[in-house]
Chain A
Amino acid sequence: MFAEDELMTIIDEVDVLVAELRELSAEGPHFRILHRFHRPGSDCAAGEEVAGIYLIHRGREFFVRLSLALRLLFDYLARHSRLPQSAAQIEAGIRADRFYTQHTTIVMGKEKFTRSIPRSCVRVYIERLRSALEDVFSEAGLLIDVHAVVVAEETVTNEVGYRLKANYEWVHVDA
């Protein structure tokens, strides 16, 4: 019923799936983070907006439905993905970074369009982030444990460090 070349076509596709499995287990899923209001020559500068986050799977974009606070948190964790950070460290890191404190000021001026991430809220935000990722993985048909992507790493005390295990690309648009 199936000729030899048809058999090879199936085997070639299985090879692609194996490559996909390896990439997923080594690096996690792939996300595209869209920064808007970019000024030429100054990627990820203060004043830009984290406009949207997309899961890229099998050549398609899947929009991750995140509020402003969660987009900022995702962007921050993506930038520091090698460093598990406690709730206090996340709060401090976001407060200290002009990218987040001056979020969207290029077009909004002094009118604030940002969020602080208080340490007391980090745990709740992390759960909401997981929930949004669970939805987008389901939409993309990607059965992956969100706890393996938004990772909580315990320290020797009861403090927990959070980090994202995924790979990312940042895309900048001028408007």
Chain B
Amino acid sequence: MYRLLLIDQDSMHAERLATCLRERGLGVLIAESIEEAARQLQQRLPSFELVVVVTSGMTEQWLVTLRRLVEASRQYSMCQGPLFLFASHRKCSPNLRLRIERLGARYVRGR
């Protein structure tokens, strides 16, 4: 069973999404804050194979957050690290999207 760390500041949405993902056989943990997510990802032994970050908007600040999470996951781990998905409610500019992808995250915008 793959373990997924969910970062979503809309708690109701996070619960709905987590329920759907658990039904698909994934182990889901909802992080209560960015700090907690970073702590979870800094473990010496990788705890998650997938990280999903859901935001309602797309700002530079989220890019900084995403970078922080990616770096946290790489700090100690010598094994395969988690794959990142960044989901945004709003369309982001091509430049920002490129920067997200260069961090190794897949980007998706809710239709």
Which residues from chain A sit less than 8 Å from chain B, CB to CB?
Answer: 1-3, 5-7, 9-11, 13-18, 20-21, 24-25, 58, 140-145, 147-148
The 9 closest A-B pairs by CB, nearest first: A141-B104, A143-B81, A6-B110, A13-B108, A17-B83, A10-B87, A144-B80, A145-B79, A9-B110
What number of residue pairs across chains A and B have CB atoms under 8 A from each other? 90
| Secondary structure dominating the interface of B | mixed
Structural contact, A3 and B20, CB atoms closer than 8 A:
no
Q: Contact residue range for chain B?
A: 35 or more
Task: Give the shortest distance, in Å, between A28 (CB) and chain B (any CB).
Answer: 10
How far apart are the CA atoms of A24 and B50 in the complex, in Å? 13
Please name all residues of chain B whose beta carbon is closer than 8 Å to the beta carbon of A7 when the two chains form the complex.
Answer: 13, 16-17, 20, 110
Structural contact, A143 and B104, CB atoms closer than 8 A:
yes
Which residues from chain B sit less than 8 Å from chain A, CB to CB?
Answer: 2, 4, 10, 13, 16-17, 20-21, 24, 26, 49-50, 52, 54, 56, 70, 73-74, 77-85, 87, 89, 101-106, 108-111
Which single member of A6, A17, A25, A141 contacts B80 (CB below 8 Å)?
A: A25
